[in-house]
Amino acid sequence: MNRTKRKIFEASMKLFAEKGYDATSVEEITATVGVAKGTLYYHFSSKEEIYNFLLEEGTKLLINNIDLKVSKLKNSIDKLRAVVLLQLRIISKYQNLITIYLSQVWGNDTRNQKCQKYINDYINKIEEIVIEGINKGELKEGNSGIIASEIFAFTCAGLMYRIKTNKPLELKELCDEADNMIYGLLKK
């Protein structure tokens, strides 16, 4: 991604997170980036395309990083720990992106459905690890879809804690809590 496209990407992400998709205009994006509309339209055909690109790239970032991290690990508990740590790091670094996902997930319009699809793709990746752990006897039996959703929700709760306290996320503290809450309940 070239520098101008990255600037459009980052400015849009910030504006969509702060104001919402509908309240953000192309004019605001171009003013924030400091480019003409023509430059924006050279990289993206519409505001909707920017939004879709944000969701797609964010999901790729999450899933590719999970694949990279867990491919080196054998035990499903270690894989889930790696997923939680990775997601917490991404939440900390890309808070605006996660805010967009969470703010747009509710509803039935096309934008909401796309957001739901991307979140479900990510949760399905976590579920694969849970299923593997159950099948290997490393995790307790349970509904793998619910467990994967709970892991996703737990890490998103870290963002809520950050908003509530207005303090940066303490990754070690949150990971320790994940060990106590999630893995303590899942470990066989």
Report how far residue 26's alpha carbon sits from residue 50's, in angstroms, rounded to the nearest whole number. 10
Together in a domain, 134 and 158: yes
Q: How far lies 80's CA from each of 37, 69, 143, in Å?
A: 43, 10, 16
The pLDDT of residue 94 = 79
How many whole angstroms separate alpha carbon 174 and alpha carbon 165? 14
Q: Are residues 11 and 56 in the same domain?
A: no
The whole domain housing 178 covers: 51-186
Q: Which residue has the higher pLDDT, 154 or 142?
A: 142
- Whether this prediction's pTM lies above 0.85 is answered by no
Per the structure, how many domains does the chain have?
A: 2
**185 band by pLDDT with thresholds 50, 70 and 90:** low
Is 88 in the same domain as 133?
yes
* Angle in degrees, 0-180, between the axes of helices 3-19 and 26-33, rounded to the nearest 10: 130
Which of these three, 45, 62, 77, is where a domain ends?
Answer: 45
Query: Quick one: 85 and 170 in the same domain?
Result: yes
CATH number at residue 130: 1.10.357.10
What b-and-e string marks burial along 91-106, b requiring 16 or more CB atoms within 10 Å of the CB?
bbebbbbbbbbeebee
Same domain, 38 and 58: no
